[in-house]
Structure 1
Amino acid sequence: MSFPIRSTAFAALAAVLLAVSSAFAEPTTVTFVHTNDMDRMEASGGKGGLANLMAVVKAERAAGEHVIFTHGGDAISPSLLSGFDKGAHMIDLLNAADVDIMVLGNHEFDFGPKVAMERIAEATFPILGTNAIDSDGEIIDGAIASWTTKAGEFTIGFFGLVTPDTTEVSSPETVSFASLEATSREMSAKLREEGADLVVALSHTGIEEDFDLVNAGTGIDILLSGHDHLLMSYYNGKIAMMESAAQADYVSVLEVTMDRVERRGKQRFVWSPSFRTIPTAGMEGDAEMAAKVDSYLKKLSLELDVEIGTTTTQLDSRRASVRGGENAIGNLISDAIRKGVEADVAITNGGGIRGDKIYDAGTVLTRRDIQTELPFGNTTVKLEVTGAQIVEALENGFSQVENGAGRFPSVSGMTVTWDAKAPAGSRVKSVMVGDSPIDAAKNYTLAANDYIAGGGDGYSVFKDAKNLIDPAAAQLMALMVVDYVEAAGEIAPAVENRLVPAE
């Protein structure tokens, strides 16, 4: 008679132990594979590109049980092909990459909100736009406020943030961007109320905005960011933050181990991060994605052979011409970028003009011609500079003309008198901005390519200038020139005494 009693007691005890043990979740590791700021589909110099990215993602998915592939925004622009299909190819490629979740970036608005909504609708993955509010007071059509997923017994909640600077550096038109901090507080609380254990902000925000969010105590556990093109991982014991440079030159991986522990008689959720950085240089890309990218590169080749307009004057891009004096093609390019960002003046360097050929008057120009002349993928930035900084930049531009240096300037919005025989550093004799002498103390807006804006070719003076449109938000220089020629249909650039040799 005692045996059944013992068996029953044992069974009851086992049931209690099972219930207790099941109240505690098993430790679970989730892997976040993160990329951001990736508008270039192909590798460059053996690194980056979607085929290499896909190879990393597939390897991580094969190695981990719970893997989330995140994209921190800026995909559909700027690139040469996006200038023709408004970024549709990138959404198609990201669909093939099986992205889990993406946030809108400022470049998603480069073609206006209507195109942004079209691209969102084409995506087979969810796109966050939590603080991207249209004129009706709702999130831009197609984007979502939050997304949740499970990893083992744990719930992970995401929301998305887009930098409010988008209103200044892109073309969101009717779309505005709510406060990053207020949105973060509201969504962190909401997601936790809905059962999220871990709250992730997938953001396209600047580094100062990132640290403001980290330090504000908004309830975020993890911030996966983009926009600055920084390679960064950070953990302060409470919040983890990560950004993955740009173009998938590197892929950032964050492994988070989640658990529940009992403290003072209560179960508490705990987590810990581990960071990895995977350089893609020299790796073997995913063959299937490489084939898909190649099909778009062939399409791009066809797009480049499209006629855009006619020049009724001769254009001379030979090395000596663009590095030795005022020239018509330099004037064309500097005019195009000045108009493209609506700046007071523009400066571009002769070393960035590389076609090394003559286009006779009457030549029908193609997109390929412009790409040949501007092959480096430079973008057009907008700086706020003083008159004194402009003069210093011009002195640098003329400082090595006798050596045929690439720093020689082409300008727009200015007339500069200069003396090639004077000592370097004192060759600028006068500068007129429009019809007025330059004012050393006055602020002007300047269009320039991102290379010289970052101090390239000796233009170090620009490194201290205020960015109004920085490289992360800028559009391709070549596309600005294409758009400029297409809009005109017929152009007649000429040497018109912008750079006047002193007598």
Structure 2
Amino acid sequence: MKFTKALFYFLSISILISCSSVKETKKDDGKIDFTFLQLNDVYEIAPIQGGEFGGMARVAKVHKDLLKENKNTMLFMAGDFLNPSLIGTLKVDGERVRGKQMVEVMNAMHFDLVAFGNHEFDISPKDLQKRLNESTFPWISANVKLKTKEGSIPFYKEVNGVKKEVHETFIKEFIDKDGTKVKIGFISVCIPSNPQEHLEYSNMFVKARASYASLKDKVDVVFGLTHVKLANDKRIAKLIPELPLIMGGHEHTNSNNFIGNVQISKADANAKTVYIHRVSYDKKTKKTVVKSELKEINTSIREDEKVGKIVNKWQNILNAKINDIIKNPSEIIYKTAIPLDGRDVTVRSTQSNLGTVIAKAMSFAYDDEIDAALVNGGSIRIDDQLIGNVTAVDIFRVLPYGGAILKVEIKGRLLKRVLDYGQLAAGTGAYLQRYQIQQKGKNWFIAQKPLDSDKTYTIAFSDYLLKGFDIPFLSDKSTEVFSIYTPKETELANDIRKAVVAYLKSK
């Protein structure tokens, strides 16, 4: 009898505890927290500026730590990661890398969503399709489509013969420990600044609004993941004031702006910083609270071992190839407290201090025995600023395609046409970075003297400029190009990158 009573008591307590546990697990307080880790405009998988900042293996460690803090964490790339990069120009197994290294790293990091940036369209349609197929993460695009003979279609991934479309919007569901569920949606548009024959751009503002309209009744809250100018993001914020947060790219300097209640956040390029957004959502009040932290990625952060191995593999490939071209590629050759500006928006529109350095180096390569130097802004591919310790590899990243510096005897009349064309081409790769050439009003000056249309000048040109691509009337066949000296392999002028390295080392 005593045994039966004891057993009954034990079973009763067990049932009560069990019911209590079930009650606790089923309790839904209607509030849920989740975290976004945002990157944008990342071209380098390894740390930059002498190893001081950036590095995807460090970001991977931050990501893992955030997942431990809250399993409901998403990792984003707000566009621009496949190009440009020095590794991307290399040939491995007979093929140009063209962003393959970045996709391999990002697959290992388990990105949750990526947006297209304008630099994704630098590479050929064939290479872009390969990268899409290789990626294990989802992409999003509302206003950029693939143009085919049959018409415009969404981008897609093709794996084992099966095609899967890239959608205009994206939905993610989270659930927390107490059972609160939330559906969050994402919209994305890309700046139409890289027109290509295989692309069709729709109006980004129309598509942003349409995407939001298609999502708002399917989810609890909608966020933006964009790659457009800040001014465009601000307009989107005005058009869709219900967005709590737009995670943006394109600009390379961190910023955090508010248009009404819409927060617009952009991190620094090349993962020098990342944004951590801790989001709280209340299903009863429909209120979203975003607390954002700009985190510097530096030497204090340990590297994730798995991602680090992939980065090292690609760095070893890079070093092996670079060592064939230049000794001590990691040597610090210059220190600068003032950023050397190689961003596209600068070098393709105004005279940049980095453009001046490159043009001066071109003159230096010929012992300053020339009148002036010109290089097309489109040759500068780093789309970033150099600050602090500058290495030889940094210069190769600035000018990944290399090329010779040509010494050209050119008629003043043609030189003026070239300079005028370069000014009119502001905003494109044909804009000219200069040394010993100034414009005062509408007049050009060469070495402080007015340009003489009848005089013959000796000008150092980047070899690309004499191919007639950027400036159609300038080539080795132009009648007012009197002579072109192409340097021998043993000469410094044979490789513009080596000339810049030598020039900076001399300072």
Tell me which residue corresponds to 1:174: 198
Partner of 1:138: 153
Residue 293 of structure 1: how far off its partner (Å): 0.6
> Conserved in 2, the CA contact under 8 Å of 1:203 and 1:224?
yes
Cα separation, 2, equivalents of 1:86 and 1:78: 8
Q: Deviations over 1:208-227 (max 9, x none)?
A: 11111112236533211101
Q: CA RMSD in A?
A: 4.5
What displacement does 1:199 show? Answer: 0.8
Question: Alpha-carbon deviations, 1:209-265, whole Å to 9, x = none?
Answer: 11111122365332111011121223345212211111111111111110023xxxx
Match of 2:39 in 1: 35
Give 1:180-219 correspondences, 5 Å limit.
180-193=204-217, 195-217=218-240, 219=242
Following superposition of structure 1 onto structure 2, how do residues 278-297 of structure 1 map, counting pairs within 5 Å? 278-283=295-300, 284-297=302-315
Partner of 1:56: 62
The aligned counterpart of 1:362 is none
Tell me if structure 2 keeps the 8 A contact 1:188–1:218: no
Residue aligning to 1:119:
131
Contact 2:209 2:239 in 1 (8 A): no
CA contact (8 A) 1:432 1:438 kept: no
Instruction: Find the counterpart in structure 1 of residue 191 from structure 2.
Output: 163
Equivalent residue for 2:72, pick from 66, 89, 92: 66
SS in 1 for 2:152: coil
Structure 2 Cα separation of the partners of residues 75 and 339 of structure 1: 18
Matches within 5 A, 1:423-434: 432=412, 434=414
Counterparts of 2:266 and 2:397 in 1: how far apart (Å)?
22
CA contact (8 A) 1:113 1:173 kept: no
Question: Are 2:257 and 2:265, in contact at CA under 8 Å, matched by a contact in 1?
Answer: yes
Provide, for residues 381-428 of structure 1, a one-character-per-residue CA deviation record: whole Å limited to 9, x for no partner. xxxxxxxxxxxxxxxxxxxxxxxxxxxxx898895xxxxxxxxxxxxx
Once the two structures are superposed, the pairs formed by residues 218-367 of structure 1 within 5 Å of their partners are 219-261=242-284, 268-283=285-300, 284-304=302-322, 321-322=364-365, 324-326=367-369, 334=374, 337=376
8 Å CA contact 1:204–1:226 kept in 2: the answer is yes
- Find the residue that maps to 1:114 and give its secondary structure: helix
Question: Residue 181 of structure 1: CA displacement?
Answer: 1.1
**Matched-pair contact (CA < 8 Å) for 1:321–1:327:** no
Q: How does 1:364-383 map to 2 (within 5 A)?
A: 375=395, 377-378=397-398
Q: Distance in 1 between matches of 2:417 and 2:436?
A: 25
CA shift, 1:482, in A, is 9.9
Q: For residue 373 of structure 1, report the CA deviation from its aligned partner.
A: 9.3
TM-score after normalising by structure 1: 0.61
- The Cα offsets for residues 248-283 of structure 1, whole Å up to 9 and x where unpaired, read as 11111111110023xxxxxx4111111101111222
After TM superposition, the structure 1 = structure 2 runs for residues 463-474 of structure 1, keeping only pairs within 5 Å, are: none
Q: How many angstroms apart in 2 are the aligned matches of 1:287 and 1:23?
A: 39
Task: Structure 2 unaligned segments of length 5 or more: list them.
Answer: 1-21, 91-96, 158-165, 176-180, 326-359, 381-389, 441-461, 470-474, 476-484, 494-507
Aligned residues of 1:184 and 1:219 also touching (Cα < 8 A): no
Q: 1:439 to 1:51 in 2, by over 3 A?
A: closer
Cα 1:458/1:238, change in 2 over 3 Å: farther
Please tell me whether the aligned partners of residues 31 and 282 of structure 2 are also in contact (alpha carbons under 8 angstroms).
yes
User: What are the ranges of 5 or more consecutive residues in structure 1 without an aligned counterpart?
Assistant: 1-17, 262-267, 308-316, 342-353, 355-370, 381-409, 416-430, 463-479, 496-503
Aligned length: 359
Q: Which residue, out of 173, 178, 192, partners 1:150?
A: 173
Summarize the Cα distance change of 1:164–1:492 in structure 2 as closer, same or farther, 3 Å threshold. same
